[in-house]
Every structure is written in C-alpha cells, then in structure tokens.
Amino acid sequence: MLERIDGPRDLDALTTEELKRLAAEIREFLISEVSKTGGHLGPNLGVVELTIALHRVFDSPRDPIVWDTGHQSYVHKLLTGRKDFSELRRRGGLAGYPQRAESEHDIVESSHASSSLSWADGISRAFARRAQSDPEQQDRHVVAVVGDGALTGGMTWEALNNITDDNDRNLVIVVNDNGRSYAPTIGGMARFLNSVRVTGGYRDLQEGSERLFGALGAPGRVIYRAARGAVRGLVSRASDNQDLYSNLDIKYVGPVDGHDLEAVEEALRQAKGYGRPALVHVITEKGRGYAPAENDLADQFHAIGQIDPDTGAAVNGGTGPSFTSVFGERLVELARDDERLVGITAAMLAPTGLDRFAEEFPDRVYDVGIAEQHAATTAAGLAYGGLHPVVALYATFVNRAFDQLLMDVALHRAGVTFALDRAGVTGPDGASHNGVWDLAALQVVPGIRIAAPRDEATLRELLGEAVQIDDGPTVVRYPKGAVGEPISASRRTDDGTDVLRDPAPGDSAEGAEVDVLFVGVGPMNRISLEAAALLEEHGITSTVIDPRWVVPVAASVVEFARGHRLLVSIEDGIRVGGVGTRIRQALRDAGVDTAVSELGVPDEFLEHASRAELLAEAGLTADRIAADVIEQVRGTKIPVARPR
C-alpha cells in the first residue's frame, strides 16, 4: 500500500481495510529504516493512524499542519512523498524534523516544544483577514498537532488565551495525548488528562468493544461501530463536564482512540466543520506496535541510535562513559555531602542524567515540564530559600530562559548552576538542536561564570566548583557523547588555567616570544593539541592552555598572551560574540597587542550532518587550523583537504 502513496490525495480513494494495511506497512517501514539510521522511533509509531486521518481530512499544504514538536513528523514525510529514509538525519538525506527545503508540506522547522499553537494562531488570523478580500483564501484551515507534554509549556497557554479570544477562524488543535514527553508527563495538566483518559466511559468503550469484536467475529463489526458511536457521545459529554477547555470557550471533541482510523477521522471532520477553533483530544500509545518500545518504560524508544529491529538492542556499543553520565554520577556524589543541592529538569530527567539523582534523592528533584523559563525563575526562588539548584538542560533550550536567567537569577545574585548538556555542535538533529548560542548569549549576563570541561576529570572538578558559588549564576557546558581519553595538564596557574602544552625545549630563545598561544574551550582542546603538534613539524612554536572557566577571562590568559605573537581561540559556539571576542576585549583593556584569531562556528543555522562534518565545514580541524596559522605567521600557504 505504501508504494501507492506519493501524496496526501492518494489516500482519498482507499477503503478502511486498505488504510489499516497502510498503517501496518508504515510501522514496518519505520522499524526497519529508523533502526538503521537512528532517530525518533517511538513518537512516530504512535501517530500513524492520526497522521493518515489528518491528511485525509485536511488538504495539506493549503491547510497547513504544524507539528509540535517536529520529531513526530516521519509519517507525515512518508505520506507527502518522502520515502527514502536511507540517509535520515545525515548530510544530504531527510531531516529528522520538518524542513521547508524538503517539502511545501513542512511549515515550522524550529522543533522546540510548545510553539505550535502560537504559529497556528498567527497563520489562522492571517488566513481570516485575507479571506475578507480574496476568495482563494476562504475555507482554509490550520491544524496544530501538540503533544500532551508540550501543554506543560507556558507558551501553549498564552496562545490558547488568544485563540479563544477571537473565534471567527478555522483552527483545529489536535492534542496527541500519550501521557508522555520523553518520560511520563508530570503536573496538574497531566493529572487532568489522565483523569479523562481513564474515565470509566472511555475505558469501557475500549474494553467492551474489543470483547464484542472478539466474541462475535465479523458480525461484531456492526455492533462495535454502533456501540463506539454511542459510548463516544457519552464520554464526550462526560468529559465536557470536567473539561477545563470549556472554560476557555473552545469546542472540545474527545477523547478519541488515536489508533482507530475511523474514529479519528470522524472527530477531525467534526472539528473541521465547526467553523471556529476546536480541540480534538486523541489518545495514542507511544511506540505502538513495536514490543521493545512498548515495554521500555523509560522513554519508549523516544530517540534511538542504530538498533537491531528484532530485539531493539543497540547495535553500536558505547565508547566509554558519556559527559551526561559523568555529570549524573558526580552530582549524586556532591549531593551526598551537601544537602542544599537540588535538581531541576524540564521534562528531561533521563536525557540530562538527573535520573540517577532522582533515584537516590527523589524528594530533591523538581520536574517542571517543558518550561525552561519557569525552571530558571523557580531556581532563583529555591536559592533565595537557602538551597543550591542545579538546572539541567540541553544547551539549545537555555535560549528560551535567557530573560529569566538575566533578570531573575543574575540580577538577584542567585546561586544557581546551569548544567548545559549537548553544548556546541551536535549535528544530526539539525539547526534548532545545535547548542552553539549559549556562550555568546550568556556571557553578556553580568556576574555569570561559565565553565567548559574538556574531559571526565575536569567535568567532575568544575561541577564541584560551580555548586560552591552562591553569589551568582554558574554554567557548566559539555558536549554530547563520550568523554574520551583524558587530557592531562603539565601545570595549573594560581587562577585555575591548565597548561596542556609548553613549547618544546630549544624551540625558542629564552625570553623570546613564542609564535602561537592556543586557547581551547572544553573539548576543542583536543584540536588545539593536534594543531600544535602539526605546527611543531613546521618549526612554529606554540603553547596550549585550557582556562577551564572561560568567562570571565582569567588574568593568566592575558599574561600568557603577552609572550606570544598570535593567540588562537577555538570554540564550537558561534564565533560572533563568542569567547574569542571576550578574550580580544580583555587583551585590549590590558594594553596587550598580541594578534587574535577567533575560531568558531559561523553565525548561521547549520543543516543536519555529523558533528565531524560540521566542524570541518567551519574550518575547525587541526590541519585546517595549522595551515591557516602557518599562513598568518609565515605568509606561506600549504595545501589542506577542504570539506566538500
């Protein structure tokens, strides 16, 4: 059946049985293909029937479908003609999220949760206004598909407040309720949705229908459909009585079994026909139809690497402990000796490594849902109350809490530590998930201190130092993946800068300037050392230092620069306004005229590719850096293999 689908309108002529066969084939396809490349498997297995129904009821792209978040859009890609998943999330292949360059059916690329309703609000308002003078714009609908986890984000409620203030437009909100984000959804909203999900009528509808169908065979289909329609009406009316959406003046349809194609399609058509904003509550199962995902209570295969499709076991073993696991272990150790330490997560307990902390100290962890702004400000409150909060986020998501970090944490000199996982270039998840903005954005915060560990030992060390600082915000940022081999220091300055490499004896006359000072940020110190070794082969002397705390600039960094002809800073954040810029300013303020070469990521959105490919494209490889330094120091060009 899947081979027959090249676009949404190919679904129109299919019978119910053919649609069910199509759904089964899509699940087989996803398990087979995503297991080879890695990606978001569980969320997409849960929205197969929902996506089919959406594309049968609505006319995409004339009726835009906005996915919140876009990791659940794989089925949407298949139904809109994109069936080559062989290079999913790799350079040149399909993106793991919606991408406008791929298809006119993809609307929103940002893939940060809780924004879809605001997008849909704006689009539907534009359509309504244009329809007043343009008949072509009439009868266009906008659909926002939002997970129940995203409803924990405050932006969804800001949008709902505005959506329900103006009812004269065609807007359908689909709440894909599987009770989870990464892990089970928490908070009052989760409890409300759970009360609807397990209400007696809905449970009886499921169990009773299955019993009837199983006992009566083919004739049971008629009874099943009749009973389903009648009971669904009772459930819908019952839920209306307890439904908070009714207080927002928005039409409510549901709850609907999200794996019953006919029921979902019927509910969507009903919502479409209202001619005003409506909400369809669809109940789905993450990982549906794949036993390893269904049985994985941690995250139901939310995001996977390469796996054996038969067993769900990882194919490629790990390469040692990850920065995430080291952070989790170290925080537990610190918390055993310091009862002030508490953890905060924004719906990502396990992905950030706080799950180990929660196991040992369950009453000292606060999962605030997908609400980074709230996380930062509640952390300020916890600090005021005498605790030291550690807010664990992905680096890309701290952008959402900038104002709160600035005005609620820093202005009030609150002792809060932000542990930023996936900092720097992450790669396959694409533009919105690279953590390349934190250094440039956060270093403008007065009084902030930012640490960048290079390996396991420095992560453990710097986290311990960070949680002892109680007069302002601290940040410990570290990349995705394994910590790698340790990078030892030959010595440490009084203010904490590690010297990783001194010029070789005899490389320069005593008291003479050394050619190059490399200042690496976190894991980029490996590249600094590799580049220094290449320069030595060409007779160029160099020193490699790791400040550890990269903001503010240590006095020792300025003093090292005095004795060098060129300072090269290397970071995997954006170059504009990054650490290199901060060092240049510090040198200028101190009257040091050493030339500075600031290396980093360009200020542009990076397409999905591997981390190595993106770093090479940015010129952040040892051979490329060495070649550029040789040209600067000696005016001589040497050939370097450039990335394609």
| Catalytically active residues, by annotation | 286, 372, 400
Does 111 appear as a known binding residue? yes
Determine the Cα–Cα distance for residues 260 and 243; give it in Å rounded to an integer. 22
Q: Are strands 417-421 and 449-451 parallel, antiparallel or unpaired?
A: unpaired
Peptide bond into 523 cis (omega under 30): no
Whether residue 262 contacts residue 16, with contact meaning beta carbons closer than 8 Å, is answered with yes
Determine the Cα–Cα distance for residues 373 and 364; give it in Å rounded to an integer. 20
Determine the Cα–Cα distance for residues 377 and 200; give it in Å rounded to an integer. 39
Does 290 appear as a known binding residue? yes
The SS3 call for residue 145 is strand
Does 178 appear as a known binding residue? yes
Does 150 appear as a known binding residue? yes
Rg (CA), the chain: 27
First to last CA, the chain: 38
Determine the Cα–Cα distance for residues 248 and 241; give it in Å rounded to an integer. 13
Does 148 appear as a known binding residue? yes
The SS3 call for residue 389 is strand
Closest to 607 in 3D by CA, of 43, 53, 39, 97: 97
Whether residue 480 contacts residue 422, with contact meaning beta carbons closer than 8 Å, is answered with yes
Determine the Cα–Cα distance for residues 10 and 56; give it in Å rounded to an integer. 9
Whether residue 481 contacts residue 322, with contact meaning beta carbons closer than 8 Å, is answered with yes
Determine the Cα–Cα distance for residues 386 and 339; give it in Å rounded to an integer. 10
Determine the Cα–Cα distance for residues 372 and 395; give it in Å rounded to an integer. 11
Q: Are strands 542-546 and 498-501 parallel, antiparallel or unpaired?
A: antiparallel
Q: Residue 567 pairs with which residues in a beta bridge? A: 517, 596
Tokens describing residue 251: 């039409």
Per-position DSSP letters for 473-528, written without gaps between them:
-EEEE--SSB--S----SEE-TTS-EEEEPPPTTSS-TTPPEEEEEEE-GGGHHHH
Per-position DSSP letters for 548-608, written without gaps between them:
SEEESPPHHHHHHHHTEEEEEEEEEEESTTSHHHHHHHHHHHTT---EEEEEEE-SSPPPS
Closest to 401 in 3D by CA, of 374, 437, 373, 423: 373
Does 564 appear as a known binding residue? no
Does 71 appear as a known binding residue? yes
Residue type, 267: A
Whether residue 550 contacts residue 423, with contact meaning beta carbons closer than 8 Å, is answered with no
The DSSP 8-state label assigned to residue 152 in this structure reads G
Determine the Cα–Cα distance for residues 408 and 595; give it in Å rounded to an integer. 38
Q: Residue 449 pairs with which residues in a beta bridge? A: 474
How would you label 105-143 residue by residue, b for 16+ Cβ within 10 Å and e otherwise? Answer: bbbbbbbbbbbbbbbbbebbbebbeebeeeeeeeebbbb
Determine the Cα–Cα distance for residues 367 and 615; give it in Å rounded to an integer. 34
Q: Residue 510 pairs with which residues in a beta bridge? A: none
Does 167 appear as a known binding residue? no
Determine the Cα–Cα distance for residues 342 and 344; give it in Å rounded to an integer. 7
Binding-site positions read 71, 111-113, 148-150, 178, 290, 372
Binding-site positions for thiamine diphosphate read 71, 111-113, 149-150, 178, 290, 372
Binding-site positions for Mg(2+) read 148, 178
